[in-house]
Structures are given as C-alpha cells and as structure tokens.
Amino acid sequence: MILLMTTPQPANSPWGAANKIPPLGLTYIAAVLEQAGYPVSFLDNYSGNRSVEEVKLEVRKLAPEVVGIGCTSNTYKRCVETAKAVKEVAPNCKIVVGGPHPSFMPESMLQHPEIDCVVMGEGERAMLELVNLFKARKDEDISNVASVAYRNNGQTVKNPQSFIKDLDKVPFPARHLLSMKLYDREIDYLAAKPVDTMNVIRGCPYNCNWCNVKGLWGNSCRAFGPERVVAEIEHMVQTLGTKGIYFVGDNFTINKERTIQLCKLMKEHKLDIEWTCDTGADQISRDLLREMKSAGCKTIWFGVESGSPSILKKINRGLTVEQVARTFKLCREESMQTAVSFMLGIPGETADDMKSTFKFARKIDPDWCHFNIFIAYPGCCLYDEIIQKGQYDRLEDFLAYVKTDDFNYESLLETQRRFHSSFNKSPKRIMRKLEREGPIKVMKQYLSPRR
Ligand code: B12
C-alpha cells in the first residue's frame, strides 16, 4: 500500500495561516497509482494538523511500503520531522518527497538518511516509476527514472527532468480519497459554495527573478484540453456537489483561442458553476473577458507585484504599469471583478516605491487587494543574490527575511497593516463590499481576527 501525505502547517509561518485547500498535486499522483492498480491511502496533515504521535499511529496501522510526502520551503522542517517519524514506525518503507522545495533544493532533503529519494517537478510519472521499481526490488535502476534525485556514495545525483506532453492522459485527480470536511471550500472571490480547485495550466512563460515555477513545470506552458476540463468539472459537480471552481496555477488565459474554446464548451454543457482564475495582466482582451464572463467567470486574480516601474524592472516582471492599468479599466468596463496581489520588501525598494504601489492599487481600484510581504525562498536568482549580498537578518528553514537600509520584516509588517487598513477602510470600498457581500458577511469579516 502507498501512503501519500502532506505535513502539518509550519508553527509560525511568516505568511500566517494558509487557506485550507486540498493538495491537488498529490491527488493527481494518487490517481495515477490507483490506475496502475496500487492501493493508495491519503493523509492531508496540512489541513488535518495531526500530531507526530497520531501520524505514527496511523502509519503503524497502514504499514505502507512507500510513503510520498509533499513539501514547500515553508514546510521543510515539518517534512523532515514527518519523514523521521514515519521511518521510526515503518523502517522498511521507502520515503519519497516532492513538491516546490525538494524540486529546487533536493540536497537539503537528501542530507536526511530517512528520505530515500526526491522527485523534482511534475510527479505523476516519476512516482509511478519509482513505486514499480521498489515493488520489483530494482532500486539500482533509479538512475533511469527521469526527474528523480537520489544519494550515491554520499553525493546527490539529479536525473534530468521530464514532463508529460499530453496532460489529457493524466486521470482525474483522486478527490475521492480526500475528506472534504477538512477544507474551506469557499473563496472570497466567489459567492457560490462549495468551491473546489482544479489545475488547468502547467508552466509559465515569464522570467520573474523571485520565482522558480519553471523549475517545477519546465519552460513551456502545457494545458489540459477543453473537453477534458469540462468532463472533469461535470465529474466534480456530480460527485462533490461543486458550485464554484478556483482554477489554481498561473496564466489561465495564456492561450486565448483555447480559453475561448473552453468558455464556449462550458456554455454548451450548461455548466451551472461560478469560477475564478489567476492570469497575467498582459493576457486579457475585451472579447476574451466577455467570453469568460458569459461562461461563469466572476473574478480574475492578477499577480502584479509592484506599482513602481523601477521595481517591476528590477524583478523582471515583464509587465508595465500602463498595461496593468489598461487591463483593470477593461475589467471594470466589462463588470469583471478583479483581485490583485502586490509584494512589499524587494531589495532596493524604497518607501517611495511602496507609496507608488499603494497609489497604483488605488488607481486600478481592484475589488480585492493583497499586499504580501516578500520573503525570499530557494530556487530563484533573487534568492541567491540576497544570500550572497547578505541582504537578510533572518534565515529560517531556507526562508530569507530581507533586510536593507530601507526596511526589515518588522517595518514591512507595519507598512502592510497600514496599507490594508487604509485601502479597505475607504467609504467607497466599504460600500462596494456591502453591495457585493451584504451587511451580515461584511460585519462578520470586520469582527473576525485577520488570517
Ligand atoms: C495555488 C497556489 C497557492 C494557493 C493554494 C495553495 C495550496 N495549499 O494548494 C494559495 C493562494 C493559498 C497559495 C499561497 C501561498 N503560496 Co502558493 N502556489 C500556488 C500555485 C500557483 C499552484 C499550486 C498548485 O496547486 N499547483 C498544481 C498542482 C497540480 O501541482 P503541485 O501541487 O505543485 O504538485 C505537483 C508537483 O509539485 C509534484 N509534487 C507535489 N507534491 C508532491 C509529493 C510527492 C511525494 C511527489 C513525488 C511529487 C509531488 O507532483 C505534483 C503533480 O505533478 C504554485 C505555483 C505553481 N504554478 O505551481 C504556488 C507556490 C506553490 N506557492 C508558493 C508560495 C511561496 C506561497 C506562499 C507561501 C507565499 C505567497 N505569498 O504566495 C503562500 C502561502 C500562504 C500561507 N499562508 O502559507 C511557492 C512555493 C515555493 C517554495 N519554495 O516553497 C509556489 C511554487 C509559487 C512560486 N512562485 O514559487 N499558493
């Protein structure tokens, strides 16, 4: 039996408590393993938050031959802790870790003897090949499994990465293994409930220097076909009662023709759902907006990052404030709700740059606005630069808290608090929120402590 699991949330995440969203990546891997005839158990401890002792009890009961653990840089320490606990009660099982952090820093995982190997990037095929290998007791053939890193005489060996060409061959994620009561199944951007997540696009054409999604999905953008996406939505509506979809992943509209085809098919199938997606502000046009809106899209989330042209240049965002302003004007004219995320705390950023970001946020006037604090994590060139230049005053589990003459984490927290408070507390915004969400929901939000 194969056990797939996530780790508990980090004790003190610099980003606060995360939304309770199913680990979609692991459910894809579970589906491929089940399709190959392997019995799979699932333990989502990111939302479950079970203690180490409870995890040990569960593992002892399940006696897995192979355990797969998902890991981000934020949960690195928890991942290692979980691997040690699993090996303590199931010493003969094989432990494979995967996800963003192991993909960017496999050595940091393999320094722990409890971890047998790492999958870098897309995991479906690599995990199936590893399980087949372990089952056949042919561990020595691990050098032939693409995207895997392993120890050899104390050295880390990284096999070249490979990616699935035709994503439609990947079975629907094994959502039947999830205990749905663990999850929020709602998102601010949609009134409909329950909301579930789907992955449609893998990859990103941009070269932002603070991100390394390419290390996960390769240099090209690949997508699930419109027919496949609609079939999966119909399956979710039938099996989970899904009323809303959050399409996770970057660049939903990267291929305009395919997006329009998908919207037309959604309408043809009379899918009674609302949906939201993330995309780039340079990937929007009026006709596309109208197609998306008529197919049930309520809100689009744009990662803009800064309102300062020099910072946009510094992070190689590949977008201009003029492009962004044009897109938000189009969305307003077509009554498409918008959400935006900005980052505060890029090395070289001054108080004036942050003010520009705040003013720009006011100017584009999104329905939702997030000012996130930039914490550098491994796998991107900006991270290496910050480490080399010593532009940080704290390094926790590879997360670097940036410090420059202009700011540190504590001053950024204060700026973030001020920006969110003055941005959301303007009479115009409170009125818009009341119209959109109604007095009861708004009252509840203002009275409940911020996540
Ligand atoms: C959706 C998303 C979110 C959502 C939901 C997160 C969730 N719980 O699912 C939200 C918005 C909440 C979120 C928040 C954050 N996110 Co986020 N997020 C993403 C995003 C865009 C898609 C993730 C996803 O679902 N992908 C689709 C599924 C199918 O892929 P997957 O989960 O990666 O799994 C595949 C592989 O990774 C691998 N794999 C994964 N697990 C395992 C396990 C095993 C055993 C194996 C073998 C393989 C394997 O195989 C899977 C199938 O191919 C990614 C970027 C991206 N495009 O991938 C960033 C990303 C994961 N996030 C990132 C970060 C840093 C954050 C934040 C911490 C910071 C921030 N401000 O953004 C916050 C955290 C908030 C918090 N409080 O903790 C980073 C992580 C980097 C790192 N080094 O850890 C990423 C990679 C973005 C980036 N630009 O670098 N995020």
d(CA 38, CA 59): 17
Q: Convert the pLDDT of each residue in 98-121 to its tens digit.
A: 999 999 999 999 999 999 999 999
Amino acid 431: pLDDT: 85
Residues 391-397: contacts with CB under 8 Å, at least 24 apart? 391/347, 397/10, 397/73, 397/74, 397/76, 397/77
Mean local confidence (pLDDT), 384-407: 95
Amino acid 266: pLDDT: 98
- Token readout for 316 is 């190689």
d(CA 43, CA 33): 15
Helix axes 256-268, 286-294, angle to 10 degrees: 30
Mean local confidence (pLDDT), 137-149: 96
Listed in sequence order, the residues at least 6 apart from 384 whose beta carbon sits closer than 8 Å to its beta carbon are none
SS3 state at 29: helix
What's the fold here for domain 185-447? TIM Barrel (3.20.20)
d(CA 272, CA 293): 13
Nearest protein Cα to ligand 1, atom 31: 25
SS3 state at 380: coil
- Token readout for 242 is 């899904």
Q: Residue 450: is its pLDDT beyond 60? A: no
246: nearest Cα among 271, 276, 202: 276
- What is 2-158's CATH number, 3.40.50.720, 3.40.1670.10, 3.40.50.280, 3.40.50.1370? 3.40.50.280
Helix axes 52-62, 76-89, angle to 10 degrees: 40
d(CA 420, CA 431): 16
Q: Convert the pLDDT of each residue in 324-341 to its tens digit.
A: 999 999 999 999 999 999
User: Best mutation site among 216, 229, 450 for ligand 1, i.e. most ligand atoms within 8 A of its Cβ?
Assistant: 216
Residue-averaged pLDDT of the chain: 94
Tell me the domain boundaries of the chain.
2-158, 185-447
Q: Higher-confidence residue: 214 or 296?
A: 296
Q: Which atom of ligand 1 is nearest to the CA of 378?
A: 83
Mean local confidence (pLDDT), 438-443: 76
72: nearest Cα among 114, 18, 113: 18
Listed in sequence order, the residues at least 6 apart from 358 whose beta carbon sits closer than 8 Å to its beta carbon are 307, 371, 419, 422, 423
Amino acid 430: pLDDT: 83
**Cα of 99 from ligand 1 centre, angstroms:** 7
Q: Residue 13: is its pLDDT beyond 80? A: no
Q: Convert the pLDDT of each residue in 201-260 to its tens digit.
A: 999 988 999 998 988 998 889 999 999 999 999 999 999 999 999 999 889 999 999 999
**Cα of 405 from ligand 1 centre, angstroms:** 31
Amino acid 400: pLDDT: 95
**Cα of 100 from ligand 1 centre, angstroms:** 7
SS3 state at 22: coil
Q: Which residues pair with 300 in a beta bridge?
A: 277, 338
Amino acid 446: pLDDT: 61
